[in-house]
Every structure is written in C-alpha cells, then in structure tokens.
Amino acid sequence: MKILEPIRHARSLLLFAACATACTADTSAPLVATDLVVTQALPGVMMSAGYVTLTNNSAEIISLTSVSSPQFASVEIHETIIANDIARMRPVEKLVIAPGQTVKLEPGAKHLMLMQAQESTDKKAVDLITLNFYADNLLVLSVSTTLGS
Amino acid sequence: MNPKNLVIGIVLGIALTAGILVAMKTINVAPTEPGTATILPLKTAVPAFSAFDQNGDAINQEIFKGQWDLVFFGFTNCPDICPLTLQVLSAARTQLRESGHTPLPRIVLVSVDPERDTPAKISTYIDNFGDENLGITGDLEEIKSLASGLFIFFEKQAGDGDYYAVDHAANVLVIDPDGRLHAIFSTPHKIENFVNDLPLVTRS
C-alpha cells in the first residue's frame, strides 16, 4: 500500500465527486462525499460545523491535509475528544483514508470547523456552501451543499 | 428435616422466585435508581459569585434557588459539543413537559468564554434551545470561581485573535431548589438518559 503521490495521481483524483442538496455523487470517483451537512451558524456565532462521509474508492491511501471554502475565511478539520468528561477540540493535521475505507466526520467526533463566513453579494448564492478538499496542494474533491441542509 | 419436605420446599422456593420475576416483567416495574445520573451523597452549595444573566441583570448564587436546574458550562462559539448537548437537554425537557413531569428543570448555560460571550450574545444563543433558559456570563474570575466551586474545569486554548477554543467539562450538573449540587450526568449525553433519570433525581 502506497501513500498517494499527488502529482502522479492528479488525473484520476481530479474526477470530482460532487454532492449537492439532491446528492448525485459519482460513486465511481476516487473519493466520494455523501451526507454533507453544514450547520447554519446561530446568530452572533462566528463558527459553523460541517459533517460529511468520505469514501476512498481508489487503490491508494488518500491523505487530506487541508479544506477550503469560498464562503468562509478558514476551514479546518477538527476533532472533539471527550476524556474523563472533559471536552477538547483539536485540529486534525492529516485525515488519512485507506483504500476502501469510509471515514465519517460527525457530531461529537471529527468534524469540519468553518470560521468567519464571508459576505456574499450574490443573494442567490448566499446559502450555497462549497468545500474543497486537498491532499497537500492538490484538489482532490469539491462538494457543495446548501447551508443548514 | 424430612428429605421429602426439603425437596418440596426447594421446589416451592424456585416457583415463588420465578413467579415474582415474571410478575415484575409483566407489570414493567419502574426503576428506583437512576441509570446514568450520579446522585451525590454530599450536596455542595453553589459558591458565592457575581455575574450577569442574558438580560444583563446582575445575579449571584441566589439565582439557583427555587427550581431544579440543568447546568452546562460551554460557549457560543463552540461549534460541536455545546449545541449538541444543549439540543439534548432541550429535547429531554420537551419530552418531560409533554409527559406531564413536574418539576420541569431549567436549562442553564454558563459561558466559559465570557470574553466573547456578552449577555446579548448568550441571550440570542440560548433562545435556540427553548424557553425559560438561563444564560450566565460576566467577569472571567467570577466565572472561574463559580466553576471551581462546582468542580468544573475549563481552560482557554491558544488561537488566532478571536478564533480560539476552550477546553471544558462536558458533564451536566443538576442543582436542586436549595441551590446545591445534587447530581451529575456524565458524557455521553442522550435524551433518554435525562428523560428516564430526572424524575428519579428530582424526588431523591
């Protein structure tokens, strides 16, 4: 089993798996996202949470190192760790998904933290959230959903 | 003892025990002890503190007297565990109300991030989790005093400007109408834990 080499596998991985509200994910893509939810930040709150299920359909390990969104200044993969009744939230530097593995980003566990929502001039696009997942600097997955769905 | 009588006694004993067990199962005997909550043998009074409620009104330890409270220490910019916990408490309270349970506990959020959580922000936030909730914020040292008096840990983490996290205890405290720490719900929090145990806790 090899660690994904972004340049060599760029072509196959750039087959995006897009999953909007009416999810039409290409289940044959190397990395597939399903059940994507971005919570609507409560009034006065600067942060939203994102949850998604990621499946690696490729024969290589996929290591996600960063996430971005045009609608937020910053997106990070975080993990809520509860030990001895103490809740700690820590950044996840690398999300490793083995071939054939499904990883869930879900409430109370690993999740996306979306910070500082950007002002949009496009009223129609204001609730559409796009998330771009990167392995090093290579875009491997781009998914969209509506806010709060 | 006559061996014959001994056998008859044993058979009757087994039959009686089995009958009791079947009867208990049939009539679905309600539990008498909480399944997940820990009722404290020694009740600790809420310590003296001075802070503000969500309306900006000054409050102190007296605010905890006169009703049952479910107290959670969290913060509004906590995107995951805090809203999850408050949703559980809100749903449990709704179920208890619909089942006619009294007394209905109040949900209390004490901010472990008083630097960012103004009374106005707390007010808007807790309104998302039902009516009659109480939000508490104020001077950091006062909140620390309240927390430590209730055995609650919290610690601000390094971050970037306004973007930082706060580690904090995730258990839910039950404060009784005398303003004393009465019981504790440990994680993980589930709606049924509160629905099943609160009627037992509030009459213990």
pLDDT tens string B21-65: 555 554 555 667 888 999 999 999 999 999 999 999 999 999 999
Return the number of other C-beta atoms located less than 10 Å from residue A28's C-beta: 9
Measured distance CA(B170)–CA(A86) in Å, rounded: 5
Provide the pLDDT for residue B6.
63
Report the C-alpha dihedral over residues A93, A99, A105, A106, rounded to 10 degrees.
-140
A107: left (phi over 0), alpha (psi -120 to 50) or beta: beta
More confident call, B157 vs A11: B157
From chain B, which residues contact A within 8 Å (Cβ)? 76-81, 83-84, 120-121, 124-125, 128, 153, 162-163, 165, 167-171, 186-188
Which residue, A97, A9, A117, A113, is CA-closest to A53? A97
- Ranges of chain A whose pLDDT falls below 70: 1-27, 120-126, 149
The interface predicted TM-score of the complex, written ipTM, equals 0.76
Measured distance CA(B180)–CA(B177) in Å, rounded: 7
**pLDDT tens across B133-142, in order?**
999 999 999 9
Q: Which of B79, B124, B170 sits opposite A49 (nearest CB)?
A: B79
pLDDT surpasses 90 at B164: no
Segment B5-32 mean pLDDT:
60
For residues A58 and A127, is the Cβ–Cβ distance under 8 A?
no
**pLDDT tens across B86-127, in order?**
999 999 999 999 999 999 999 999 999 999 999 999 999 999
Provide the pLDDT for residue B186.
96
Q: Any idea where the domains of chain B sit in the sequence?
A: 1-30, 38-201
Provide the pLDDT for residue A24.
40
Provide the pLDDT for residue A11.
33
For residues A50 and A110, is the Cβ–Cβ distance under 8 A?
no
| CATH class of the domain comprising B38-201 | alpha beta
